[in-house]
Amino acid sequence: MDLSFLNSLDKLELDASSIFLLSVTILAFLIPVLVILPPVGIQKSDALIQTHTKAGVEGEKSNLKNQSSPEHAAQDGTSPRIQSLVIFPVKSCKGIELTRSKVLPSGLQFDRLFTFAQLKSPFPVAVDSTDEEKSKHKWEFITQRQFSRLANITVDLWLPDEMKLRKQSMRSTEAFLILRFPWKEDGWRGLWSMLTAKLARGRSAEPEIEVLLPVDFPSADEVKERGYTFEDVKIWKDTVHALNMERDLPDELRRYLGVSNKLALFRVDPTELREIYRCAPRKEEAGYQPVTGFQDAYPLHLMSLSSLQEFSKEVPKDDALRELDVLRFRPNIILSGAPAYEEETWKQIRLKPGTSGLYNDAVFHVSCRTVSDPRCKLPNVDPNTGIRHPSEPDKSLRTKRNVDEGAPLLGCLGMQLTPLFDPSLGEDREGWVAVGMTVEVEQLGNHVYTKQ
């Protein structure tokens, strides 16, 4: 390089216009570079996209974007049909809308495999309790009932893509979950994370943290290698022996949710599923003992958009509640075209292929109504913001939908289902449901809720 040229630059006195011109020149060079190669770190999802495909439908492809439309009302000569399917792999976090799903005895595949739990002390305790009793801790599951920000945790399900794996000369059958939650550090780190988020994902993007979780239940060697443990966790009145994966959680998640106790994530053990009785069909009727994972009580929850619209007319609206989104009630199967509340008269239904592209039927025992207790005030949480309404729709449920003599003073909306399978399947009990399947009612009857 010419040293005389450098010396002349040192002696050059730049005026304001020269400085401005130099700044514009530098920016003109840097901006395209930042757009093409933004200064952001590689996220876990960036790696998975090379070998996996994200499950679900989003945005304009959603079958729930017009859920308040009158098109979902019953029509003469037309059977009710499945409008949408939703799974919630992590209990109380955001769901994933699907167009089809495998049905297992425990519910839809991937539904409620995980639950968050906090470590609680036995308080209050009796005065004459032993020191051991006073110091004994136990894990208890948590939901939006206590921590409404769970609604802001996005869950992505990544399934192995055979074509992508082949291009990478790889083989895998392992699926993964990625949990994403908003998080912004204080000071310059927070400003930097905000900048990189917007450069990577657009102007509306906010900084977030990702957590990668394996979906498949690990082997004994993998449990040991990853440092997981098996512990008891209480869900309602049941105590379940499940896999504690707390070591995979960043402490920022506990702080974001506002959990003051120790936080863990439990994965249901497929050999330790909860047996269900109450209103579920007996083993002799179903051909197997009905079970469930981390669902509240039964394997599946069904909602009718006609019923939701009818109930919504009874719910006072305000700035905090302008529309009653069906996802507030966290259903798995969402129907269109049924008369309002007619599902409460069904005892057994057969879902037929319809326009779904499937070839086989799916049969369900309609076990009982879904009541507002123990669901409590969970539907008051806006699934899009995680903000809890002070009274609705819980208040209207209890006053307008007190319709089950087995649940006096408690509101009801939606139905709990137990899958039934063809006996010829033997132990290989599984089926499929998909958007576009039609409903054929095989049995009618009265429902009386049985408390846990």
Mean pLDDT estimate for the chain = 88
Q: List pLDDT tens digits, range 123-152.
A: 665 656 565 655 578 999 999 999 999 999
Q: What is the mean pLDDT of residues 275-301?
A: 96
Q: What is the mean pLDDT of residues 69-91?
A: 96
pLDDT value at position 372? 80
Q: List pLDDT tens digits, range 220-238.
A: 999 999 999 999 999 999 9
pLDDT value at position 6? 41
196 touches 220 (CB < 8 A)? no
Residue keyed to tokens 């974007």: 65
Q: CA 93 to CA 149: how far, in whole Å?
A: 9
Q: Which CATH number fits domain 62-112+270-452: 2.40.33, 3.40.390, 2.60.120, 1.10.1660?
A: 2.40.33
What whole-number percentage of the chain has pLDDT above 70?
Answer: 83
Q: List pLDDT tens digits, range 274-287.
A: 999 999 999 999 99
First-residue to last-residue Cα distance in the chain: 84
